[in-house]
Amino acid sequence: MTTTQLAIPQDILDSARLSVDDLKCELAVALYAQKRLAIGKARELAGLSLWEFRQLLASRRIPPHYDVEDLHEDWASLLESGATLP
């Protein structure tokens, strides 16, 4: 995986009262809320576990992105795995 560096002056971070990790988390939340990043990539950028990132989203009242197409994909995956329903 390649990485790209972004230079942000320390006084900007200080003015915003953010650390670099806080800024990455804020960016991840914003991009997820705009539907520009899926939850997996957003949580990776934030440096959080999936559970931690979901809790963060919930605390900010950002709903999960889950639509009918996702439901159909999950349903098909369950059927392919041989799962049985009650």
In contact, 40 and 30? CB cutoff 8 Å:
no
pLDDT (tens digit per residue) in 37-76? 988 899 999 999 989 999 999 999 999 888 787 778 778 8
Q: What is d(CA 46, CA 29) in angstroms, rounded to the nearest whole number?
A: 8
Written in H, E and C, the secondary structure of 16-69 is: HCCCHHHHHHHHHHHHHHCCCCCHHHHHHHHCCCHHHHHHHHHHCCCCCCCCHH
Q: What single letter denotes the amino acid at residue 38? A: A
Confidence at residue 11, expressed as pLDDT on a 0 to 100 scale: 96
What is the per-residue pLDDT for 84? 75
Quick one: average pLDDT of 13-30? 96
